[in-house]
Amino acid sequence: MQIAILLYNEFTALDAVGPYEVLSGLPDTTVVFAAEHAGPVMAHTGMLSLVAEAAIADLPHPDIVLVPGGPGRATAAQMQGGPVRGWLAAIDQHTSWTTSVCTGSLILGAAGLLAGRRATSHWLALDRLADFGAEPVSERVVMDGKYITGAGVSAGIDMALELAGRIAGRANAEAIQLMLEYDPRPPYSAGSPQTAPRDMVARMRHGSKYPRPNPAAV
């Protein structure tokens, strides 16, 4: 089984690496990081590059594709017509699963793959799915046929475990979870707009930079 994880300039690294760490543990599976051109691809922080081992043109028939998200300017560049959009539309004809994490769902949407489907995205971008004829669903992992979308960034781990279970059965998915010691204990309860401080959610919805540059001001 070949799993292609798309990389593009200013993607969010954890969107890709969380699912990679889960899915690479599946039996008989090869995960290939792929970008328009093979070589290092810089994440949105400017502080980390992952190496795309393949060019997308060299992967015409992956069994699974995963599209990570990124900041608005980064996803917008992939949503315009171009090699990535064309590749996604073409390979989706043959995939067993077409998946995304965070704002990667907007890229799937722009490629025409989510029309009429239920899907999720980062909470700040969720409403935009409607622009592509998708039905925005505020859940952590949304499955609609072979299309699986995960919410923001860290949701890719949960999405990938769901997918692992579908592919290889519950025991294999649990074994992966145990090896990754995925027994999460966030020290705070601010992980969703429903549980985070209301003023923080409001500030982010209005585009305030986070975190506040001066901790003393918080």
| 131 or 195: CB nearest a copy of itself | 195
Q: Does 213 bind a copy of itself (CB under 8 A)?
A: yes
Q: Does 48 bind a copy of itself (CB under 8 A)?
A: yes
Phi, psi dihedral angles at 100 (to 5 degrees): -150, 160
Integer Cα distance of 105 and 95 in angstroms:
16
Stretch that binds a copy of itself, among 56-64, 74-82, 91-99, 209-217 (CB under 8 A): 209-217
102 is catalytic: yes
Q: Are 202 and 193 in contact (CB under 8 A)?
A: no
Q: Does 113 bind a copy of itself (CB under 8 A)?
A: no
Q: Which of 67, 102, 106, 111 is catalytic?
A: 102
- Contacting a copy of itself within 138-177 (CB under 8 A): 140-141, 151-155, 157-158, 161-162, 165, 168-177
- Contacting a copy of itself within 59-98 (CB under 8 A): none
The distance of Cα 27 from the centroid of its chain, to the nearest Å, equals: 22
Integer Cα distance of 6 and 200 in angstroms:
31
Integer Cα distance of 75 and 73 in angstroms:
6
Among 4, 35, 50, 129, binds a copy of itself (CB under 8 A): 50
Q: Does 1 bind a copy of itself (CB under 8 A)?
A: no
Pick the closest to residue 136 from 145, 124, 24 (CA basis): 124
Supply the residues annotated as catalytic. Answer: 102
